[in-house]
Structure 1
Amino acid sequence: MTPEEYDNLSPEERDVRDRENKAREQREQAALPYTWKQELGEVDIVVPIPKGTRARDLNIKILKKKLSVGLKGKEPILDGELCKEIKLEDSTWTVEDQEIVHIHLEKVNKQEWWENVLTHHAKIDTTKIVPENSKLSDLDGETRGMVEKMMFDNQQRQLGKPTSDELKKQEALAKFQAAHPELDFSNVKIT
């Protein structure tokens, strides 16, 4: 279905379609030999391995665009091309309780969601991802200021009050009126 066709669906039809797609995605993801989650800057993968497996028993290769995980002398559990490039120097793997391999991949492009881990595996709909809330204190000064302004403006609109830009215009007009009392401002509209 194209985005245009989706947009033409009624809200009820979209809801049904979204639920069907989510159920299909969950089935496809559950069939993978691993689980994974992501944030904008990173991907974390959990691969179950036979109990008692040690790191020395594993054959793990993490390359810029390729990932392979398996037991030495056996077929890999997963092996293929990563859907996007990673930063090798910041990507790691560890074994937990001799039954799980944790793989942490740092994305090169920290501004896009991955559709899948390996290109030959089922894709997810990245337009439906709801990112976890981040704390404003995690943001740099400029980004934080922009987010706070957007939050303020959104709150003002919901209350039917002027946004920060509209308030600045009103202030500028008030100063100009005070400086020029001889002018008639009765027909002035702020846009």
Structure 2
Amino acid sequence: MKIKNLFFILFFTIAGISVSAQSKNILGGNIYYYEQSDGNNYNINNAINFGIYVDYFHKVHNNIYIGATIGADFYYVKSRDYRQPTFYIKPTFMYCKNITERLRYTPQIYFAIGAGRALSNDAFYNLNDSFFEYGFGIKPFVFDYKISDNIAISFAFGGYEFSFVDYNESTKHLKLIEGGLNGNITGGFRFIF
């Protein structure tokens, strides 16, 4: 991992904000960033993925929360001038379990519905195509660490996503199945009051 990526991760960890009200409702806002140096079947190099989102969870039973995430992903491939902004909503289930007095494990399972646009102007593609996607994902490594009675640091490492994507215009309704492990590192603070 490059040193500049560590600075981005640190910055976005500090920038993300999550708020928990009386341990029954959780309102959050997080930012994530990652850069990959090699690609998939399109031989994509130097891709950047950046996301920002807001989520809300309501406690429904002992350690079970339900909620939703609303946000945006911005995917950019430097070497091919390919951009793909996506806006989405993700109904989510979250499990909260105290590991220690200060550390809490909060994995999530979600369903995603999103829409966006694929834009490219290079030798491979001249693309301006809208798309719709739906799928599911798992974030197995999500934690909150309480640093005082009112403040906790929230952080997550990676996850698995699987989605069906339907491109509409220039690709003549191309349908793809995408999925796999991702390297998203998400961070934020939770203010508990």
The TM-score, its normalising length taken from structure 1, stands at: 0.22
Instruction: Flag the structure with more relative contact order, 1 or 2, with Cα contacts below 8 A and sequence separation at least 6.
Output: 2
Larger proportion of helix: 1
**Bigger share in strand:** 2
Q: Greater Rg, structure 1 or structure 2?
A: 1
TM-score (norm 2): 0.22
